[in-house]
Chain A
Amino acid sequence: MNVLSDDSLEIRRDADVVACRQAVRARSVEQGFGLVDQTKIVTAASEIARNTLQYGGGGTVRIQKLADGSKQGLRLVFEDRGPGIADIARAMTDGFTTGSGLGKGLSGTKRLVNEFDLWSKPGEGTRITITRWK
């Protein structure tokens, strides 16, 4: 598998969430994603970017364009050094929120992408890797 490009963005403010969505949209167009795939990965990015800001206290996202044989994909790695997630299984449940959201961001994101990986450790932070293939 080849990494064709690798960008990194900061997520510190509301405007950065918008910038993240725009960057993901642009990269997915470059990868030849159709409208449905674009919408899915951009929406997933929006969910996780907002969590990174809201719960992780800010962090970064890496956006990688991938090529695997004839397949093209987009991988996003969100990382923060916030409080981490104590009970991952619970956080992944539809409707669970410690804030005032709908509690469907994490679970919904998992359904919007092909690969979903969540690493988190209380006191250390959270890293979420999502990949969508064309």
Chain B
Amino acid sequence: MASHIPDILRKHNSAILTDWLAEQARSFSRDTRARDDTPALSARFLGELADATAKGNVDDVDGEDFREIRALLEDLSRQRGLAGISPRDTAMFVFSLKKPLFARLRQELSGDALVDEMWSATTLLDRLGLLTTEAFQRTREQIIERQQQDMLELSTPVVKLWRGILALPMIGTLDSGRTQIVMESLLQKIAETEADVAILDITGVPTVDTLVAQHLLKTVAAARLMGADCIISGVRPQIAQTMVHLAIDMGDVTTKASLADAFAHALKRQGLTVVRAVKS
């Protein structure tokens, strides 16, 4: 049996829309201001909902018939998520349609038909409401990912410690996209400053696994091609031990426990010593 929902949505379109907009305004929490695009979006949603349900599968929100609706809700969730609107308020966009729609179902139907359609409508709107929450979640994850990316680019300074001596304090996780950026900024700075020693400091890298080790080895090899020798500092005892278990061979690269040790080593290699100034 075909659902009555599409017919009722179409017949009472403008009344439902008016009631729904009033309902939305009421249900939003105080800090969510009314949005200019709400009336147009709501009207479009009602139209699409009538079209989708008219195709027969009232409960198959994951199916082809509901593609437009899903796209609309995805867009809405993304935009509202970016605007800082809570997932609760975004989901209320869908849930607040229940009351006006149920009122019209009650007006048009009775008996078993009413019970059946109320059930279909509830299930349908619940599922669509959930879609907004899922979409919100995805948007949030994308934002976090982008912020992490931004942070990575900011947190890879190459500092000049002395003439010919560079230091690269690495902080955080060293896998994936990060390393490429680290390596490029180091190589560029080596070229600019004609440095002959680069200290890669991993004090701020919590875990050195085989992937991180491989990245370090690649960086060392590239720096060497540019004429700079690398020292790896910040190799804490527990990291050194773990690297032995992983059978990681750092070749002839000098490693030091601290950045200070590495700096002292670099100065010495350049024939420089640090002496206390004599008080006169």
Taking Cβ atoms with an 8 Å cutoff, the residues of A that contact B are 14-15, 17-18, 21, 25, 35-36, 38-40, 42-43, 46-47, 50, 94, 101-102, 104-105, 107-108, 111-112
Check if A39 sits within 8 Å of B207, measured CB to CB. yes
Smallest beta-carbon distance A41→chain B, Å: 10
As a 0/1 sequence over residues 222 to 260 of chain B, the CB contacts with chain A under 8 angstroms (1 = contact) are 000000000000000111011001111000000000000
Complexed CA–CA distance, A100 and B245 (Å):
20
Smallest beta-carbon distance A112→chain B, Å: 5
Say which one of B40-48, B57-65, B127-135, B208-216 lies at the interface with A: B208-216
Interface of A is mostly: helix
Check if B209 sits within 8 Å of A105, measured CB to CB. yes
Check if B238 sits within 8 Å of A39, measured CB to CB. yes
Q: Which residues of A have CB within 8 Å of B246? A: 43, 47, 104-105, 108, 111-112
Question: Contacts A94-B247, A107-B247, A108-B246 given: A36-B210 contact, CB under 8 Å?
Answer: no
B107: Cβ under 8 A from any A Cβ: no
Of A38, A39, A94, A101, the contact of B211 (CB 8 Å cutoff): A101
Smallest beta-carbon distance B87→chain A, Å: 20
Complexed CA–CA distance, A50 and B248 (Å):
17
Of chain B, the residue at the smallest CB distance from A108 is B246
Q: 10 additional contacts, CB 8 Å, given A43-B242, A46-B209, A111-B247? A: A14-B176, A38-B238, A39-B238, A42-B207, A43-B209, A47-B246, A101-B210, A102-B210, A105-B210, A111-B245
Among A25, A42, A104, the most chain B Cβ lie within 10 Å of the Cβ of: A104
Smallest beta-carbon distance B251→chain A, Å: 13
A-B contact pairs, 5 of them (CB 8 A): A40-B242, A40-B245, A50-B211, A111-B245, A112-B246
Smallest beta-carbon distance B230→chain A, Å: 18
Q: Which residues of B have CB within 8 Å of A17? A: 175
Chain B 187-213 interface residues, beta-carbon cutoff 8 Å to A: 206-211, 213
Smallest beta-carbon distance A107→chain B, Å: 7
B18: Cβ under 8 A from any A Cβ: no
